[in-house]
Amino acid sequence: MFELLIRSWPLLKTAIWVTVWLGLGAFVFGSILGMLIALMRNSTYRLLRFMAFMYVSVFRGTPLLVQLLLIYFGLPNYGIELGPITSSLIALSLFSAAYLSENFRSGINAVDVGQWEASFAMGMGYWKCLQRVILPQAMRVALPSVGGQLVALIKDTSLASIITVVEMTSVAQQMGAATFRYMEMFLIVGFIYWLINQCLTLVQTYIEGRLSRRIS
């Protein structure tokens, strides 16, 4: 198996960076959009709540693979042609935003309503209260589920191989076809996925500890 790893490494090392870049990029963009959707879900305006609800309903209720294929193969019918990596990044970001919005919303709703009232009584506006008082507490609550979503995103990047993105699963398929050693190749790739996600989990645990000490 080690010999197979050495043989596939020239392709695999590039694929690892593509996998990590796609996962982290989608997480960043998905977090920004997800936070916006979470705030819309908590809005006093019915239209904003409805729009956010429908977004979450559609993107959580349909498979990521279907969304990916619609973006890559469907948009060119309307004159919008995107490359495989761009399509994958957009699909992963939109998909993750739906889940992250619920993570953020649950964190925000977990903060006692008295925190809002006390902040407004001190003369803080909505955005300042959100930034200085609510979000620091909300992120502490939401962090475990948000970290879980990042781990899931790293694994979901494997679907990008369907539209010819050369990530780890794609390399495993290519090397398996070339050497007929599918079992060993997929075990190697599975171990690398696990290693990446273990590193992310350790970072998450460290951040949780820092937040707990800062708030306590």
pLDDT of residue 216: 52
Q: Give dist(CA 139, CA 132) in Å, integer.
A: 12
- Per the CB < 8 A criterion, the answer to whether 37 and 101 are in contact is yes
pLDDT by residue, tens only, the chain of 216 residues: 777 878 778 888 888 999 999 999 999 999 999 999 999 998 888 999 999 999 999 999 999 999 999 999 999 989 888 989 999 999 999 999 999 999 999 988 888 888 888 888 887 888 888 888 888 888 888 888 888 899 999 999 988 888 878 788 888 888 888 888 888 888 989 999 999 999 988 988 888 777 666 655
Helices then strands, each counted (H, E), the chain? 9, 0
Task: Tell me the Cα Rg of the chain.
Answer: 20
- Per the CB < 8 A criterion, the answer to whether 102 and 56 are in contact is yes
pLDDT of residue 142: 87
Q: Give dist(CA 120, CA 118) in Å, integer.
A: 6
pLDDT of residue 48: 93
Q: Give dist(CA 141, CA 134) in Å, integer.
A: 11
Phi, psi of 44, deg, nearest 5: -80, -10
Q: The whole model's pTM is what?
A: 0.88
- In the three-class reduction of DSSP (H, G, I as helix; E, B as strand; rest coil), residue 122 is classed as coil
Structure tokens at 209: 């500890």
CATH topology of domain 2-215: MetI-like fold (1.10.3720)
pLDDT of residue 164: 79
Q: Give dist(CA 44, CA 162) in Å, integer.
A: 41
- Per the CB < 8 A criterion, the answer to whether 56 and 37 are in contact is yes
